[in-house]
Amino acid sequence: QNQKTKEQIESLLQDGKHRELRERLCCRLSFGTAGLRSAMGAGFCYINDLTVIQSTQGIYKYLERNFSDFKQRGFVVGYDTRGQVTSNCSSKKLAKLTAAVLLAKDVLVYFFSTYVPTPFVPYAVQQLGAVAGGMITASHNRKEDNGYKVYWENGAQITSPHDKEIIKCIEECVEPWNGSWNENLVDTSPLRQDPLKKICDSYMEDLTKICYHRELNVQSSLKFVHTSFHGVGHDYVQMAFRAFGFQPPIPVPEQKDPDPDFSTVKCPNPEEGESVLELSLRLAEKEGAKVVVATDPDADRLAVAEQQENGCWKVFTGNELAALFGWWMFSCWKESYSQDADVSNVYMLATTVSSKILRAIALKEGFHFEETLPGFKWIGSRVKNLLDNGKEVLFAFEESIGFMCGTSVLDKDGVSAAVVIAEMATYLQGQGLTLAQKLIDIYEMYGYHISKTSYFLCYDPATIKRIFERLRNFEGPESYPKCCGAYSILHVRDITTGYDSSQLNHKSVLPVSKSSQMITFTFQNGCVATLRTSGTEPKIKYYAEMCALPGHSDRSVLEEELQKLIEALIENFLEPAKNGLTWRSA
């Protein structure tokens, strides 16, 4: 019933573009590390009115099977500000269709009356006792994309087996039901409730549980600049700063309002660093603000930059920010609890491709550190499990600037992370320190962890498969490489196949993930490097880290060694020239 997407298929048919028609119509969307995600447009593997209706019908069928009280407890629906004129597709419209499918089946739907940060949906699921929730967003992806994240009743993104079972249910009911196309149901149905005010108030109140120095914040002379990257973050970050007692941060005027074209940045991903933070850094210099916080378009991730004494800006990596957050959350916990608080009940988590700095802090301080597969869905589920068993979780992160401070939201949250960083910077200013200086202190105390993460673009799935299969059969069938250039390999772990040479039974402790490629190499010199495919974009990512023990730290030597190893890794294992891979900087 969408004329624009119908016309796209008709014109492909008219132009005889059969190969493209096959690509669009002969495969379906599947759940990756962040739910369903694809380009907006016509076709069963694209995000459009029909595929969102089909996905919601499958979700309805699965939830009805699993919860006898599904209709009474209800479903939460949120959305960001994405949109595409050429396919008459916007996040709000797709959210209305999601709600329509459920309302037509007499399900209570909590439909936000305006755009919200992604973390508001999992938060609302738990607060309202809903059975599940959906967020229409493609986070920081390019403007052409959109997506559909699904959260379970525990407030965490769905993992296996739910995702596989939902896909089966979707395939069982692809024909839209009566009422599924009726996007006006959200305006007329008595079963639709708007949770915006209740959730916003409650979220801001819960946020103060991780505010430890309100009196300093109120008096702070430190200025902050915030960019919301043309997305949803502006209003919510302003409110969060007020909740902590701060003056609100100075917004970047050109980027504070929603713009589905993301017209001032080449890509809406704050992780890309200084090149995409240009407007905020210039504004900060003009205003005399020393710290810039940037939330991505759906406000679930956070980038931070700080002006150094020489006037240059340092944009922190996700791993560096995690070192600061880990130190901060543990220090605040220690200060706010009595002497006899049980540190052995405390946990922090990270995904396996992220820095091991939390492990080093945990070893020295006596708390627990755990790793999960990449993707916050694994962290959320594990944190819920730990909380249900009486454990206390202070912090969790993934290196791609995703942070979870406290446990009000069981997903990454850029809004809370932004205000925690502001409080940390304010506290450190009182000690005569900057964030960058404190980071060095942390590395001096717990050991330097020097890491580098980047990626290559590859649009051909066959090439990606060939690269990884070559590594699995490097020196003959089923034999992994024993060295990479001059660097000897101690252990290999392959999450795709479940192999781990460091275990006695050669079986990986982390669960197998056959749907994506991921191999980790531990080198004789202490470096750990991982190659994996992205769950949301056409990328082969690499992650490498050198970990030194406290006191064994000549940073420049470590950096040089890491750089040489990465060059060997790229040349020997990825072979970009031979495989036609596009370098990130290009």
Q: Which residues pair with 402 in a beta bridge?
A: 398
Beta bridge partners of 450: 546
Contacts of 337 by beta carbon, 8 Å cutoff, 6+ apart: none
Residue 573 amino acid letter: F
- The residues, any chain, with a CB within 8 Å of residue 248's CB and separated by 6 or more, are 237, 238, 241, 242
CA 229, CA 257: separation in Å to the nearest integer? 8
Instruction: Tell me how many degrees the CA angle 102-105-110 measures, rounded to the nearest 5.
Output: 35
Please state, as a whole number, how many other Cβ atoms lie within 10 Å of the Cβ of residue 165. 16
Note if the bond before 161 is cis, omega within 30 degrees: yes
Helix%, strand%, coil% for the chain, nearest 5: 40, 20, 35
CA-CA distance, 100 to 107, in Å (whole number)? 10
> What single letter denotes the amino acid at residue 98?
T
Question: What's the rounded Cα separation, in Å, for the pair 134 and 156?
Answer: 11
Query: What is d(CA 211, CA 357) in angstroms, rounded to the nearest whole number?
Result: 24
Degrees, nearest 5: CA angle 115-383-162:
70
Options 38, 139, 280, 354, the catalytic residue = 139
Is residue 90 among the annotated active site residues?
no
32 three-state secondary structure: strand
Active site residues per annotation: 139
